[in-house]
Amino acid sequence: MSATAALLAWPVEAEDDTPLALWRAEEIARATGGRASAPFEVGGVAFDSREVMAGDLFLALRGESADGHRFVEGAFGRGAAGALVETPVLHPHVLVEDTTAALDALARAARARVAPEARIVGVTGSAGKTSVKEALFAALDRASRGRAHRSVKSYNNHVGVPLSLARMPARTRFGVFEMGMNHAGELAALTRLVRPHVAIVTTIAPAHIGHFSGEAAIAQAKAEIFEGLEPGGVAIIPADSPHFALLREAALAHTGPHGGRVVSFGRSDHADVRLLDSVPASSGGSLVTAQLGGFGDGADAGKLCYTVAPPGDHWVINSLAVMAAVRAVGGDLGAAGLALAEMEGLAGRGARHQVPAQDGDGSGTALLIDESYNANPASMAVTIAGLGATPATRRIAVLGAMRELGADEDRYHAELAAPLLAARIDHVVLVGAEMAALARALGKNDAPSLAAGPQVYHVQTSAEAADMLARIGIAGGDAILVKGSNSVGLGALVKALVSKER
């Protein structure tokens, strides 16, 4: 057969008639009930004019502190092809009454137009949701040859989720969406937009607990993700959580009546996707053996062996949730294993850098572990333990305050003393007023001491932490962990250190 004949014989698929453009003006107008000023096509959607790329649709949203309409000219200056606005502008646009409501409408239209066989996954949890979302996307994107879509960064709130949906191409085979919350009722609204076929809860921990009566209330709020499950959907929950029974009951209420299923993951004997063994891999990650069950399709109880590139026990457990989700959507477990073996740390969530030594003769490099984006008591304890297990000449922890912990914030901060001592950290730089309780628990001591335990320094700002780190000195062979709530601003410290990366 000639090349021309082979091309003509290429099988025609339904998706061949799907437009390549993300949105056309008439589609946006139809979805939002708006009126298009002129025909145009867009290849992306953005609400921050600084992030607009050529060919994007700019959303002029009205926020508490800023009105997007003020930045329309700047967005078109950066190459926007159209805008969604509440007042007419001298550029191609779709005019609507309320741009925020129009974004939700565009999100619903995007969710509705993907093919019936497409599979959508929602991910929430007190920690690990971004990591699981990224790992799952990598696994599904590899298997589908680029037809997976996911929410970028941590776009997981009432604006980020609909924005991520609006960015989903009609050709999508798999969609993975992160959903967050800090108040009850928020996830219920988001999950009804996403309408997942698979809903994952990674873990329950006292994140944002200042807005809740306790961890059980957080678990109940996270369980709202099951309310949007499509009929026959799968709920994936942590078997090792003390709130397992609560999560399972909530999941069954939304899966049982509709032919769905609840699948658990973890170390526990009752876990469906159960960790059998985990040993350090030569690459620094972990070699994982897991038993796969809980799907009731005749292929249960098989064993999986794969490598997880990022180090840490939390990544081992997260990988079980990823594998469960891949199985639930009919994905390729082999491709998922390859994706996990190639995963790199995420910026602010475990990325690792080699930074030059600045102390002694300045030779060698130090390992910088960037966990600067977020922190809660559970994730703090896990990453401190990870630092303790990291081979190093000295171990240095720069820890920022944990925010939104409510009346018990002193206790939560002070309880970090135990993992710090167990990890045998050499120097601890504590950042923020809330860290005073931990400084007291450790017995603040910024002078060399023969006593067991770290040298402790308590400062108020990220800039002061940078000065203190310089005072300690970064030597070749050091391992430095930087972790804290994003509002503490330790990302600036990481950025300064990484700018010198070797």
User: What pLDDT digit, counting tens, does each position of 103-144 carry?
Assistant: 999 999 999 999 999 999 999 998 889 999 999 999 999 989
| Beta-strand relationship, 35-36 and 93-95 | antiparallel
Which segments of the chain belong to CATH 3.40.1390.10? 18-104
pLDDT in tens, 228-250: 999 999 999 999 999 999 999 99
**pLDDT at residue 258 greater than cutoff 90:** no
What confidence score (pLDDT) does residue 490 get?
95
Per the CB < 8 A criterion, the answer to whether 80 and 57 are in contact is: yes
**Which tokens go with 71?**
């930045």
pLDDT tier at 2, thresholds 50, 70, 90: low
What confidence score (pLDDT) does residue 3 get?
56
Taking residues 414-442, report their average pLDDT: 95
The more confidently predicted of residues 393 and 208 is 393
Distance CA 68, CA 246 (A): 42
What confidence score (pLDDT) does residue 74 get?
96
**pLDDT at residue 448 greater than cutoff 60:** no
Per the CB < 8 A criterion, the answer to whether 404 and 182 are in contact is: yes
| Beta-strand relationship, 479-483 and 365-371 | parallel
**Which tokens go with 428?**
């601890």
**pLDDT at residue 5 greater than cutoff 70:** no
Which segments of the chain belong to CATH 3.40.1190.10? 114-342
What confidence score (pLDDT) does residue 291 get?
95
The more confidently predicted of residues 275 and 298 is 275
**pLDDT at residue 99 greater than cutoff 60:** yes
Which segments of the chain belong to CATH 3.90.190.20? 351-498
pLDDT tier at 447, thresholds 50, 70, 90: very low
What confidence score (pLDDT) does residue 177 get?
98
Q: Which CATH superfamily is domain 18-104 in?
A: MurE/MurF, N-terminal domain (3.40.1390.10)
- C-alpha distances out from residue 473 to 357, 360, 395, Å: 8, 8, 12
Distance CA 470, CA 221 (A): 43
- Detail the residues annotated as belonging to a binding site for ATP: 125-131
pLDDT in tens, 351-370: 899 999 887 666 789 999 99
**Which tokens go with 375?**
């922190």
pLDDT in tens, 154-181: 788 999 999 999 999 999 999 999 999 8
Q: What DSSP character marks residue 16?
A: G
- Detail the residues annotated as belonging to a binding site: 125-131
Taking residues 458-482, report their average pLDDT: 95
Tell me the CATH architecture of domain 114-342.
3-Layer(aba) Sandwich (3.40)
Amino acid at the residue 302: G
**Which tokens go with 354?**
């080699």
Which of 248, 327, 261, 241 lies closest to 290, judged by CA?
327
pLDDT in tens, 11-63: 555 555 556 799 999 999 999 999 999 999 999 999 999 999 999 999 999 98
Write down the mean pLDDT value for the chain: 91
Distance CA 169, CA 37 (A): 23
Distance CA 447, CA 445 (A): 6
Q: Which residues of 432-470 are buried (b: 16+ CB within 10 A; e: fewer)?
A: bebbbbbbebbeeeeeeeeeebbbbbbbebbeebbebbe
What confidence score (pLDDT) does residue 450 get?
41
Distance CA 288, CA 307 (A): 6
Q: Which CATH superfamily is domain 351-498 in?
A: Mur ligase, C-terminal domain (3.90.190.20)
**Which tokens go with 287?**
């070699």
pLDDT tier at 82, thresholds 50, 70, 90: very high
pTM of the entire predicted model? 0.84
CB atoms within 10 A of CB 394: 16
CB atoms within 10 A of CB 168: 22
- C-alpha distances out from residue 387 to 308, 425, 446, Å: 17, 8, 21
pLDDT tier at 147, thresholds 50, 70, 90: very high
pLDDT in tens, 222-233: 999 999 999 999
Which of 279, 477, 484 lies closest to 392, judged by CA?
477
